[in-house]
Amino acid sequence: IAGITQAPTSQILAAGRRMTLRCTQDMRHNAMYWYRQDLGLGLRLIHYSNTAGTTGKGEVPDGYSVSRANTDDFPLTLASAVPSQTSVYFCASSGQGGTGELFFGEGSRLTVL
Amino acid sequence: GQNIDQPTEMTATEGAIVQINCTYQTSGFNGLFWYQQHAGEAPTFLSYNVLDGLEEKGRFSSFLSRSKGYSYLLLKELQMKDSASYLCAVVDSNYQLIWGAGTKLIIKP
């Protein structure tokens, strides 16, 4: 693993199903983030974690949950997917918190039908 | 509310120069980022400005005026591979990133 890895890269999901997007980084960065990106809108922060064991809500947290059991992993869970959660999801990490360069995963394209 | 404004789309010619503007209104300011995002790919870091002035990095330069709430990204000697979206993002007083919607740059031969 080099950098930050997301899985799956693409998924079609029936509404109401539970889904977990995985994110792993090997850079030992303390801060990790989940964003969604929709056409015509900027990246919107879903949840973040400043360090292992802590998480916080971003701009659009409803319908999503995260955990940060260790430094490397930051999974995002949709408990019961809805069509409005169709989006491209990016996981990112930073070694310097708010003012540090973000390193992004390749993205997970999720379609909820 | 917090707001970042960028043009939605710009077109330029290969070999030319283009300036992409970003204006912002945020609660506090702790720096401004520019990221490049090719279609279907992840954003990648281009520059970070926290003090007023011009930062040059190869063919790309980024300018900041904190008093005007304004930044621009200047791309020189445009190449076809520069066709991408360019994202402006501001770090607010809570050290959260506020993102613009991005500017899609189309390069024509």
Structure confidence at residue B109 (pLDDT):
94
Q: Which two tokens stand for residue A45?
A: 């922060």
A76 beta partners: A21, A66
pLDDT at B82 over 70: yes
Residues of chain B numbered 67-106 and touching chain A (CB < 8 Å): 87, 89, 91, 94-102
Compute mean pLDDT per 10 residues along chain A, 113 residues long, and list them. 89 97 96 95 93 95 97 97 97 87 96 97
Cβ distance B96 to A37 under 8 Å?
Answer: no
Residue B77 binned pLDDT confidence (cut-offs 50, 70, 90)? very high
CA atoms within 13 A on the CB side of A89: 33
Structure confidence at residue B1 (pLDDT):
74
CA dist A103 and B11 (Å) reads 28
Of B91, B96, B101, the CB nearest to A41: B101
- Model pLDDT for residues B13-49, shown as the tens digit of each residue: 999 999 999 999 999 999 999 999 999 999 999 999 9
Of B30, B44, B99, the CB nearest to A43: B99
Phi, psi for B14 (deg, rounded to 5): -50, 135
CA dist B14 and B83 (Å) reads 10
